[in-house]
């Protein structure tokens, strides 16, 4: 069981987006539910609008039509954190100081933030690298710092834009395992963008496929919380094959 179950999710209704100067909508008629504690992955071809939707969900950009609401306990303002595709660390600051940054921006002193920063570093396997600088870290380690920085505020909603795209397969598997464990422990609502069917099936509770700016199909992924041996399982291979066929438009219920 997770230590914390966050009470917030996201509901998008009738969301559309047209960028200034463009003659077509990048997103149309998006109705999306991200319930509290869900892990939703957005899949789809390049240019179908995944990052645009993620930025709208992160409230970094406004929809042209429709609305996006954060759901949750009335007394609590839900908090979200975005992990971008590039780790975007400050090169002149140590790992500790990079992870401390969101708390610094909220006015917390370093002393008061110390426990939260160390907890986040431990959760991402960085407890021994607190004093290192970004230039001393591998790509996988830098991404861990970026995730630790997003987790340090213990967000209700974690939004991740292809965070592992630039990593080799072994590192990606390791980070997928760690992300699953972190998710089970903290249970934020997660929206994760990827091009990898394998990653989507391994991580998610729901896969949402976009095509030409619309939701094409959604698929619940019912593997439960313990996915340690999932990669060796036949049902994992079966769901991966189904998702690939659906993306190719080659799936029927009798496939
Ligand atoms: N700031 C912007 N201004 C104008 N057009 C934009 C802007 N951002 C994205 N677009 C356009 O919107 C469309 C969708 O882009 P988006 O990055 O959301 O797709 P994506 O599915 O995330 O693609 P990829 O998988 O390649 O990252 C593209 O045609 C892109 O050129």
Tens digit of each residue's pLDDT (9 = 90 or more) over 175-195: 899 889 889 888 899 999 999
Q: Which atom of ligand 1 is nearest to the CA of 54?
A: 18
Residue 141 lies in a domain: no
Q: Which residues pair with 214 in a beta bridge?
A: 211
Spell out the alpha helix ranges (H) of the chain: 50-57, 95-105, 110-123, 139-151, 169-186, 197-203, 234-248
Are 188 and 6 within 8 A, CB to CB? Answer: yes
pLDDT tens digits along 9-26: 999 999 999 999 999 999
Residue 119 lies in a domain: no
Residue 146 lies in a domain: no
Q: Which of 15, 23, 26, 55 to mutate to test the pocket of ligand 1 (most atoms within 8 A of CB)?
A: 26
Given a cut of 70, whether residue 48 has pLDDT beyond it is yes
* Span from the CA of 96 to the centroid of ligand 1 (angstroms): 33
Interatomic CA distance for residues 164 and 38, integer angstroms: 20
N- to C-terminal Cα distance for the chain?
36
pLDDT at 178 (0 to 100): 87
pLDDT tens digits along 87-138: 899 999 999 999 999 999 999 999 999 999 998 998 888 999 999 999 999 9
Residue 68 lies in a domain: yes
Q: Which atom of ligand 1 is nearest to the CA of 162?
A: 27
Are 82 and 155 within 8 A, CB to CB? Answer: no
Is the ipTM, as predicted for this complex, more than 0.90? Answer: yes
Q: What percent of the chain has pLDDT over 70?
A: 94
Residue 99 lies in a domain: no
* pTM recorded for the entire structure: 0.91
Overall number of domains in the chain: 1
Residue nearest to atom 26 of ligand 1 (CA): 46
């Amino acid at each position: 069981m997770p230590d914390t179950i966050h009470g917030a999710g996201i509901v998008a209704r009738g969301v559309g987006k047209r960028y200034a100067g463009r003659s077509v909508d990048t997103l149309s008629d998006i109705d999306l539910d991200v319930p509290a504690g869900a892990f939703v992955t957005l899949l789809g071809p390049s240019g179908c609008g995944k990052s645009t939707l993620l930025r709208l969900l992160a409230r970094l950009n406004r929809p042209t039509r429709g609305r996006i609401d954060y759901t949750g306990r009335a007394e609590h303002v839900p908090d979200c954190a975005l992990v971008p595709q590039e780790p975007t660390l400050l090169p002149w600051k140590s790992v500790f100081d990079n992870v401390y940054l969101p708390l610094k921006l909220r006015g917390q002193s370093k002393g008061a933030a110390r426990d939260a920063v160390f907890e986040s570093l431990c959760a991402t396997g960085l407890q021994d690298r607190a004093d290192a600088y970004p230039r001393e870290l591998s790509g996988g380690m830098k991404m861990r710092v970026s995730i630790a920085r997003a987790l340090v505020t213990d967000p209700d909603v974690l939004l991740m834009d292809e965070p592992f795209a630039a990593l080799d397969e072994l590192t990606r598997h390791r980070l997928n395992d760690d992300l699953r464990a972190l998710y089970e422990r903290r249970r934020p609502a997660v929206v994760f963008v990827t091009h990898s069917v394998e990653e989507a099936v391994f991580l998610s509770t729901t896969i949402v496929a976009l095509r030409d700016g619309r939701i094409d199909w959604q698929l619940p992924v019912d593997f439960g919380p313990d996915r340690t041996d999932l990669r060796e399982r036949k049902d994992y291979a079966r769901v991966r094959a189904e998702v690939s066929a659906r993306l190719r438009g080659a799936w029927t219920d009798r496939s």
